[in-house]
Structure 1
Amino acid sequence: MRFFGIVITALAIATSPVSAQDIDLTDLTRYEIIAEGEEARTLSDVEALEDAYQQLINAGDCDAAIPAIIEFYEAANIASNLIRRGNEPYYDARREDQESVARNRTLLDELISAERVFNTLLEQRNRAWVEEAKCLLETGERGAAVTRLYRALDYISTDERELWEEARRLLWAEVGFQP
């Protein structure tokens, strides 16, 4: 009897009319990646932010380094997203369209350069996330550090072997695991 009730409910849901969502194609809110009143940082700005947080870490000043690290990785993430968006039509293109683009050597070189910069920014961002976690561990904020390491490990690629090892060993150390 219970099975019969489940089947009837499933049929009722499956056969109910579905209304189409109205999509406002002029609504730009889903494209907003920069907060109101702020501007995207240039690659030079991002590099200067990275240098600034690294100097604070080298000086052993984690309290000052944490906000600098956050400022850097937020700027790097936005810059990488903006650069990657320029390649999006290529990524979304059909294979024959991609092959057509590949025959235009100047355009292809430009897209490759953008991809290289995009990937480098992501690697720098990932490194900053691990550095932030290390500072949080140093300042006794273990729970926040674990959260940062967990996030970093979601994005670190296997190509980033040293960073991957460092992040996983820091995370494992929090539960006393030693391989």
Structure 2
Amino acid sequence: MGTEATATIISGVLAFVVLTGCSARMVPGSAGPALPAASAQSTVAVDADRKVCVDLDARGGTLYDTFVVPMMSGASGQKSMDVDLQQMVNAVSAVTRVGEGVLDAASPGIADEGGRLVAAAEAFRAHDRVDTTALLTAFVGLSVECTESGHKPSWFNPGKLTDS
């Protein structure tokens, strides 16, 4: 499968993740997603969610800017990407430690997406040729989960990923 075909498949998956994740918890008659009630989650999980999301904000911006956005808005629409491999390797390395020490205490959605992101980032570092679909979907998935929990990463713009 060529680079353009792979990029097209990945972009479709990411658009689906962004669109379904951002709209999955809409409250009827409201303009935004329903945020989980603090009473429904333990204080420990709420604190862990915040820490994981702040960590993602601090570590994930470079991966978002150097890989996710270029792939989704490449020169040929959603079919090409211009990525500096060394920047991407450094960016992926940074996200392997997202949520370190608190991920297990986070709410189920954040813990799941964070765990998948860390595992996919570690797999990426271990192999020269790896399918980036798992890395990108977990990265966007965790960004969506953080946004829905009220801790939107400063660099995350779902509209930028779905507009082409």
- TM-score of the aligned structures, taking structure 2 as reference length: 0.30
The higher-RCO structure (CA 8 Å, 6+ apart) is 2
Which structure is higher in helix share?
Answer: 1
- TM-score of the aligned structures, taking structure 1 as reference length: 0.28
Structure number with greater Rg is 1
